[in-house]
């Protein structure tokens, strides 16, 4: 049984956190996740954040963007299309720990020459994260406890020159109940139905994100609620 609490984030695991997920089961699951994100307009939250961070930046300069927890690369492909349509010169890198998902991401990104992928444990003690201009965390941070999120964001901010766009879930009982209603008839996999509920229960209240932000140096941030039951958290680097 999946529990929901308004007071604290759930510690229940998501099945998709099993990095051995592969094959047809993985492909069907990824399609389910893409379907949910399309329903809820999730990609636009990230793209809007990129546009805000790039305001007043020259379109002549190459902009390197890293998507952490990139999955099958759908967000990067949307970024590539956005960049092409708006005259940006994007270099796009996807980072994930699941090698099977990265194989699928590379196949789906054939025809996007400015997208590449790297397998990486972002919590490793090694300093492996490449330098970039903008970092993206789309439906990624809710997988981790608050102390690990703080640690990771400090690490990412040290590698970025402009800032970070975070697009993640609001912990809402209404969203939890609504997902129960729509998931059974529309999602094909039990994993997507299970993990969707767990994800909402592991989502955030605005004050929780604001508390994490107070522990990050040399940055200005904005946290806004966006439909449907999302937070757009933009962290812009400032001079130390």
Alpha carbon distances (Å) from 66 to 3, 108, 135: 33, 17, 5
Q: What is d(CA 236, CA 219) in angstroms, rounded to the nearest whole number?
A: 5
CA–CA separation, 64 vs 52, rounded Å?
16
C-alpha 16/C-alpha 19 separation (Å) is 7
User: In this structure, how many other beta carbons lie within 10 angstroms of the beta carbon of residue 127?
Assistant: 8
**H helices present in the chain, as ranges:** 23-39, 42-53, 74-86, 99-108, 146-157, 173-186, 190-201, 206-213
Instruction: State the Cα angle at 215 between 92 and 124, rounded to 5°.
Output: 50
Are residues 36 and 196 in contact, defined by beta-carbon separation less than 8 angstroms? yes
- Is the residue at 216 inside a domain? yes
- The total number of structural domains in the chain stands at 1
Q: Please check whether residue 10 lies inside any domain of the structure.
A: no
Q: How confident is the model at residue 40, as a pLDDT?
A: 64
Q: Residue 102: pLDDT above 90?
A: yes
Domain CATH number, residue 220: 3.40.50.150
| Residue 191: closest CA among 31, 82, 29, 59 | 29
Residue 167 belongs to some domain of the structure:
yes
146 within some domain: yes
Backbone angles phi, psi at 218, to 5 degrees: 50, 50
pLDDT of residue 184: 78
Residue 60, domain member (yes or no) = yes
pLDDT at residue 1 greater than cutoff 90:
no
pLDDT at 19 over 60: no
Radius of gyration of the chain (CA): 17
**How many Cβ atoms sit within 10 Å of the Cβ of residue 120?**
19
Q: Is residue 17 part of a domain?
A: no
Residue 136 scores a pLDDT above 90: yes
Model pTM score: 0.93
Average pLDDT, the chain: 90
pLDDT-derived band at 42 (thresholds 50, 70, 90) equals confident
Please give the C-alpha separations between residue 94 and each of 157, 186, 205, 235, in angstroms, as whole numbers.
Answer: 17, 28, 27, 19
Inside any domain, residue 174: yes
Q: Is residue 7 part of a domain?
A: no
Residue closest to 62 by CA, chosen among 119, 127, 131, 109: 131
Count Cβ atoms below 10 Å from residue 178 Cβ, excluding itself: 14
Domain span including residue 127 = 23-237
Rounded Cα distance between 29 and 189, Å, is 6
**Do residues 91 and 118 lie in contact, with contact meaning Cβ atoms separated by under 8 Å?**
no
Q: What is the mean pLDDT of residues 124-144?
A: 93
């Amino acid at each position: 049984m999946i529990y929901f609490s308004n007071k604290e984030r759930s510690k229940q695991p998501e099945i998709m956190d099993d990095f051995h997920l592969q094959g047809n089961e993985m492909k069907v699951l990824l399609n389910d996740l893409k379907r949910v994100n399309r329903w809820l307009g999730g990609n636009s939250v990230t793209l809007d954040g990129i546009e805000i961070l790039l305001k007043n930046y020259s379109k002549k300069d190459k902009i390197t963007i890293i998507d952490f927890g990139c999955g099958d690369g759908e967000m990067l492909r949307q970024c590539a299309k956005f960049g092409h349509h708006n005259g940006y010169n994007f270099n796009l890198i996807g980072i994930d720990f699941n090698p099977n998902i990265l194989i699928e991401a590379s196949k789906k990104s054939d025809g996007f020459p400015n997208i590449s992928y790297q397998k990486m444990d972002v919590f490793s003690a090694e300093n492996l994260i490449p330098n970039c201009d903008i970092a993206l965390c789309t439906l990624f941070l809710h997988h981790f406890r608050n102390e690990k999120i703080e640690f990771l964001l400090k690490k990412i901010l040290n590698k970025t020159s402009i800032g970070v766009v975070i697009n993640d879930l609001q912990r809402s009982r209404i969203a939890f109940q609504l997902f129960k209603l729509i998931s059974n008839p529309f999602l094909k996999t039990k994993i997507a139905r299970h993990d969707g509920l767990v994800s909402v229960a592991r989502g955030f209240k605005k004050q929780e994100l604001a508390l994490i932000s107070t522990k990050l140096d040399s940055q200005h941030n904005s946290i806004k609620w966006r439909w449907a039951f999302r937070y757009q958290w933009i962290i812009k680097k400032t001079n130390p």
